[in-house]
Amino acid sequence: MNPKDEVKFEDIKKLVNASLEKFYKNDRDLIEMSNEEDMISEQCMVFHIGSYMKNKMNTLTKFQWADLDCEYNRNMNDPKMMRSDRKIIPDLVIHRRRSNRNNLLVIEFKKKNAETYDKENDRNKLMYLTDQKEDFKYNFGLFVELGSHEVYVEVYQEGNLQTKLNYSITY
């Protein structure tokens, strides 16, 4: 059995929730600064969330086989591309490097105040990357919108939006 098939959505949800909880608890100043005029970059926040995620993955048997990468832009030896010959650089991926057989999770993050066009671009990437008829075949895709007091999540599977989740954050 492919190890990615042993990981269910509930496992993904617990992993992501634990990482976001740690981020909001330990790094809420980054969120607060991202609402100011001179904003903190999305990449800075993704780095911290990814760090918490990797630490959590190391404690969970179901994720021992997997690599977590930030802005991983490779499709084996080539650049990761969409049909339109546009390069794809996902924010975070859980996968095995150098193969598309074990592409488990792709996550795109956006700050709440990001441009609508940028959010739609990320959603289109997630539909493509989770489409089982295309090259990458990620089991799950998440669009995560980070706000000061809430997190909005869209879940993608098989190239389609499956569900939407909202979380309130209390400090």
pLDDT in tens, 28-43: 888 877 655 557 888 9
Q: Pull the structure tokens for residue 162.
A: 């499956």
For residue 159, count CB atoms less than 10 angstroms from its CB and return exposed for 0-12, middle for 13-18, buried for 19 or more: middle
Nearest to 138 by CA among 107, 109, 104, 163: 104
pLDDT in tens, 147-158: 988 999 999 999
pLDDT in tens, 72-111: 665 556 556 566 677 888 999 999 988 888 999 999 999 9
Instruction: Give pTM, 2 decimals.
Output: 0.91
Q: How many domains does the chain have?
A: 1
CATH number reported for the structural domain that contains residue 55 in this entry: 3.90.1570.20
Q: Which domain holds residue 73?
A: 3-168
Q: Mean pLDDT for the chain? A: 89
What's the pLDDT at 75?
Answer: 57
What's the pLDDT at 5?
Answer: 84
